[in-house]
Chains A and B, each alone.
Chain A
Amino acid sequence: MAPETAPGAPLLAAEGLGKGFGSGEARVEVFRNVSLTVRAGDLLAITGPSGCGKSTLLHLFAGLDTPDEGRVFVDGTDWGSLSPEARAAVRGTTIGFVFQFHHLLPELTVEENVALPLFLAGRSEAEGRKEAREVLERVGLSVRAAALPRTLSGGERQRVAIARAVVRRPRLLLCDEPTGSLDASHAAAVFDLLTSVAKERAGAAIVVTHDPEWARRCASIKSLGGEGLSGVS
Chain B
Amino acid sequence: MMPDIAFLSTWALPLVFIGPLIAAAITFIIGSGPVSRFIGLLVPIGVFAVSVLLVFATIDGQVVVSQIAGWPGGVSIAFVGDLLSALMLGASAVLVFVCMVFAYSAGMGIDRWFVPAVSIMTAGVYGAYVTADLFNLFVMVEVALLPSYILMSRRGTLTTLRAARLYLIVNLTASTLFLGGLGVVYGVAGTVNMAALAGLGVLPAVGIATGVILIALMLKAALVPTHSWLPATYPYTSPAITALFSGLLTKIGAYALLRVISLVYEPGRLVVVIVIVVSIASMIVGVLGALGEGTIRGVLTFQMVSGMGYIIVGVVLAGAVGLAAVVFYLVHHMIVMTSLFLTGGTVEHEEGTGIIRRLGGLARAHPVAAFAFLLGALSLIGLPPFSGFWAKVGLLTAAVDAGEFVVLAVALVVSLGTLVSMLKLGSGVFWGAPMGGRDESDDETPSDVTVGPETVGATGVAIDVAAATEAPPVTKWRPLLVIPGLALALVSLGIGLYPEWLLSLTDTAGRSLDDPVVYITAVLGGGSG
Q: Do A and B come from one complex?
A: no
